[in-house]
Amino acid sequence: MTNQNGSDGGLIPATPESVGVPAHDPPDEAQVWERAKREWQQVSRLVDRRAKQRIKFEYGPVGFALLADQHFGDGGVDYPRAEKEAQIVADTPGLYAILAGDVVNNFIITKLAQARYDTRLSIPDEWALLRGYLRILSPKLQVVVGGNHDQWVTMLTGIDYFRDVVGEFSPTVIYDSDDCLVDAEVAEWSVSMRIRHKWKGSSIYNPTHGIERAAKWDQDFIIGMGAHTHVSGVARSFNIGGVNGMALLAGSYKRVDSYARRQGFAKPNTSTAVAVIIDAEEHALVGFDCLEMAAKYLRAVYR
């Protein structure tokens, strides 16, 4: 650029040409809108797929065992019982598995590091235990939902490692990190199920209060399944607007819990895995707070 003369006859420096990233460089609005709309299309497709999830059986009865709160890695876990009940599901005709979270202890976030001091099992040990467990259950595994412990890897890294490990053994299993709606179609009867690790709402008198409240307000399931509380393994029939519903709450395999002792939590009942049997012929749901009894029922039917 040509220099110009100043008032005293001297030269004024020419305005420079700058090449680089300017201080004000907003994103291209049209491009952002296109990216945002593509993102919404992906999200809406996922919502549509979740609304159409189903597990179809040509005939019944069919049983679903709800297993959760294994807390692999903790020293107070009844590992023989966890292994035994997984094997019961694997060996029982007509019985299938649903995992509802907190399968590993996974104390990897800083504020919980001290909780690892009283266990001799490492983080890699926990995931090895999970893999061994899935090796037993995977032929019968139908639905997996993550719990708060399983998802701490996702919180730290953005990677759902729990989903990836489950996928190693059951690549077609229905999976959700939080909340799963799925229809169980047994013969000509379709029963809507909803599985979460933790349900909103609690009651000291009714351990399945959160599930039953959600059924009343959301009215999108007949069978509700949850865990998390470590209070009781429960299979409870309840009324949903004139329809017989079933609320299942899995008990915990963590049978010696120093945290619960310090906090003064109520002593849990003896149930761990619980089950519901769907009888399409009678249009009936039968709940069991004892996995062995549900297995005996189905073995008697299919012998």
**Whether residue 7 has pLDDT greater than 80:** no
Instruction: Give the amino acid at 80.
Output: P
Going by the DSSP 8-state scheme, the letter that residue 53 receives in this structure is -
Residue 23, pLDDT score: 85
- Averaged pLDDT, 289-294: 98
Residue range 248-261, pLDDT digits in tens: 999 999 998 877 78
Residue 5, pLDDT score: 61
Contact 100, 66 (CB under 8 A): yes
> What H or E segment, with its residue span, contains residue 62?
strand 62-67
Residue range 132-186, pLDDT digits in tens: 999 999 999 999 999 998 988 998 899 999 999 999 999 999 999 999 999 999 9
Q: What is the mean pLDDT of the chain?
A: 92
Three-class HEC string of 6-17: CCCCCEECCCCC
Record the tokens describing residue 221, joined without a space: 């399931």
Residue range 211-264, pLDDT digits in tens: 999 999 999 999 999 999 998 899 999 999 899 999 999 999 999 887 778 777
Burial of 178 per CB tally in 10 Å (0-12, 13-18, 19+): middle
Architecture of domain 51-302: 4-Layer Sandwich (3.60)
Concatenating the DSSP letter of every residue in 180-239 gives: EEEEEEETTEEEEEEEESS-S---SS-TTHHHHHHHHHH---SEEEE--S-S--EEEEEE
**Whether residue 291 has pLDDT greater than 70:** yes
Residue 40, pLDDT score: 96
Residue range 17-76, pLDDT digits in tens: 888 888 888 899 999 999 999 999 999 999 999 999 999 999 999 999 999 999 999 989
Residue 104, pLDDT score: 94
Per-residue confidence at 204, pLDDT binned at 50, 70, 90?
Answer: confident
Record the tokens describing residue 98, joined without a space: 């649903």
Residue range 103-128, pLDDT digits in tens: 999 888 877 777 776 778 888 999 99
Phi, psi of 212 (to 5 degrees): -65, -35
- Averaged pLDDT, 176-201: 96
